[in-house]
A = this chain, B = another copy of it.
Amino acid sequence: MQNFMFSNPTKILFGEGQIQALADLIPTHARVLLTYGGGSIKKNGVYDQVVNALTGKTWFEFSGIEPNPHYETLMKAVDLVKQEKIDFLLPVGGGSVIDGTKLIAAAVNFDGEPWDILAKHAPFHSALPIGCVLTLPATGTESNGNSVVTKAATQEKLSFGSPLVYPQFAILDPTTTYSLPPRQIANGVVDAFVHIMEQYLTYPVDAKVQDRFAEGLLMTLIEEGPRALEEPTNYNIRANVMWAATMALNGLIGVGVPQDWATHMIGHELTAMHGLDHAQTLAVVLPAVMQHQRGPKRDKLLQYGRRVWGLDLSDEDALIDAAIAQTRQFFEAMGTPTRLQGYGVGRESIPKLVDMLVKHQLIALGEHGLITPEASREILELAA
């Protein structure tokens, strides 16, 4: 096991009816900015619950934060924050709304062009406090310090992370997910699944707790993911998916172990260039990474196949083939195609995607730094 530091300050309030706790969680004299996306929270009653809990507080709202939140949009929110002297941010929505609001928090007092926080890893020394209401289990952003933002002008999708943008609290009410379209639940399950795999499917360092936790989360998503589609208002299924997605990326399963993240890096280029949903890109790239890296990942692929899928084959290569096939089949069962062609993306895009990886200096990906642009090209060919 590798040395590590672990700390996660986010307070989780989980369960039906927890939104009303906002009244106590947000400081009495705060000037609050409620941020949200396209307005689905107005249809499913979440907006009304939030507004009700904010009774007596001074609050403003900013809507229209897109999926893959646009830098340009977020900068308009920064203007509003400055104008209204906002001192508490309350994103209500999924990963994009929360990620975007993290950049708002960091940008408000940033001296210079805030895009540099993403493009140049420019340091920032303060951020507005954030508390969030999660309505789409997927990214884990509700209890971590990470954010991914897209610049619409250049179609660049970049990330930043800082302990300063951990939400102080996160409210997770599984009933808020009942009205999500199937595609969004599917995306959430696939996204969380791949977050776990990025921290698990590397090489063994004898970190038994981390491995068992990761495997437990994977098994939970495999068990509950398809059921979440079949029974959208089954509370416990939604609760299990929601809690698994949070645990998948709150830092815990990744302590003391090597991490990969090549699938995410390659996937980001696919979203930026072709507009695929984030999770769709992961469903396409992960099986190809598993296939391409089956040598370096051999021991963990075998462990994954045996423990997570219960595979029992004496031929190890056949077992790895089966583990990859099961993974692909699971994504497909969630309604998420696992080939580029399933999204109308042809092989002719591959050189351009590789060029973008090079432009973003993503030239030594994976836990060993072995995934060169050439390897990324081969991976994308395997995903075609």
Interface of A toward B, CB cutoff 8 Å:
1-18, 205-209, 211-213, 215-217, 219-220, 223-224, 235-236, 239-240, 243-244, 247, 252, 255-256
Contacts and interface: CB of A to CB of B under 8 A. Distances in A.
B240 A208 contact: yes
Contact of A216 (B1, B7, B213): B213
Nearest to A252: B252
Given A1-B243, A209-B220, A240-B207, A7 B12 contact: yes
A1 B240 contact: yes
Given A209-B220, A220-B208, A5 B1 contact: no
Contact of A247 (B11, B209, B244): B209
Contact of A236 (B1, B3, B10, B12): B1
A224 B220 CA distance: 25
B206 A236 contact: yes
Nearest to A235: B1
A17 B3 contact: yes
A5 B12 contact: yes
Contacts of A2: 15
A213 to B, nearest CB: 6
Contact of A212 (B10, B205, B208, B220): B220
Contacts of A236: 1, 205-207
Contacts of A224: 208
A3 B240 CA distance: 12
A281 to B, nearest CB: 26
Contact of A14 (B5, B15, B216): B5
A243 B224 CA distance: 28
